[in-house]
Structure 1
Amino acid sequence: MREWVANSSADAARLRRVSISHFRVRDAAALLGVSDDTVRRLIEHDALPATKDDAGRMVIDGAALAAYARERASRPPDVLSGATSARNQFVGLVTAVTCDRVMAEVVLQCGPFTVVSLMSTRSVERLDLRPGVLAVAVVKATTVIIDTPTTP
């Protein structure tokens, strides 16, 4: 069994992955945003299937963990007024706005995710974006890059 370590974010704990598709209890908890005890209770109540790895540690199948997370994912509040074809919407608070004469950088905190958008200063003014304002980052891109950690 191979083991590698990857950082999930600057604020999150390091995640240790046991194998290609199994996660330790503490790693599953970090991914779900709950405590280790909550994951153990989910296992006890058969809400999450678990097995033991070669070292005797409780592990959760990655596909089962993903299905559990997907089924329980809460929809963001519907704050957009109208229909959109973009499915990737991140509701959050504006935490920073930096403007010059032409361009601006707007930073949103959307749950555990930070979303940064570059736009015109005029758009920032028109939308009245400033720290503390509720906003929605709508992402519709032709290219999305996904990385995976390398195995040592």
Structure 2
Amino acid sequence: MGVSDDTVRRWVDSGVLTATKDPSGRSAVDGAELADLARRQASTPRDSSGVARSARNSFAGLVTSVIEDRVMAQVELQCGPYRVVSLMSSEAVRELGLEPGSVATAVVKATTVIVETSGGKAS
């Protein structure tokens, strides 16, 4: 989400997030709860991938939902104020380790853009 450890601690102290202890005694926050907070806060995290790409439309965000069956999966990311949904193979979801709370970047490169209006005729 692009915030410091201190911010997360303040969120836990103020009840915005719930922390539990992991098996090694460290404080941990549930990824699904963090994803829910990301939906509510909707601020764009910085893309820290360090990858150069030709696509100009990339959206860093937090995975908020993964719905998968044997073959295909629907992955939803909250990228700032934008909800981005991707359809991919279930194998790709497993290979990328995508689950609610994961940080990921959606990269969009399309050759077709469809524009709609509510009606009316251009003059």
TM-score for the superposition, normalised by structure 2: 0.57
What is the total number of aligned residue pairs between the two structures? 77
- Output the amino acid matched with 2:85: V
C-alpha distance in 2 between matches for 1:146 and 1:101: 34
Unaligned 5+ runs, structure 1: 1-74
Select the residue among 39, 58, 68 that pairs with 1:89. 58
Letter in 2 for 1:89: S
Instruction: Tell me if the contact between 2:45 and 2:80 (Cα under 8 Å) persists in the aligned partners.
Output: no
Percentage of pairs with the same residue = 60
Write out aligned runs for 1:41-52 (5 A). Answer: none
Q: What letter matches 2:93 in structure 1?
A: V
Contact kept? 1:79, 1:136, Cα under 8 Å: no
Q: CA RMSD in A?
A: 1.7
SS at match of 1:138: strand
For residue 141 of structure 1, the aligned residue among 96, 110, 117 is 110
SS in 2 for 1:122: helix
Q: Distance in 2 between matches of 1:119 and 1:78?
A: 21
Structure 2 counterpart SS, 1:77: coil
Hey, what does 2:99 align to over in structure 1? 130
What per-residue deviation string (whole Å, max 9, x for no partner) do you get for residues 81-119 of structure 1? Answer: 321100001111111001111110000111221110000
Match of 1:79 among 29, 34, 48: 48
Please state if 1:98 is matched with 2:73: no
Question: Rg: which structure is higher?
Answer: 1
SS at match of 1:123: helix
SS in 2 for 1:115: strand
Asked if the contact 1:94–1:135 (Cα under 8 Å) also holds between the matched residues in 2, the reply is yes
Match of 2:16 in 1: none
After superposition, give the CA deviation of every residue in 1:65-92 in whole Å (9 maximum; x if it has no partner).
xxxxxxxxxx962322321100001111
**SS state at 1:126 partner:** helix
Which stretches of structure 1, 4 residues or more, deviate above 4 A after TM superposition? Answer: none
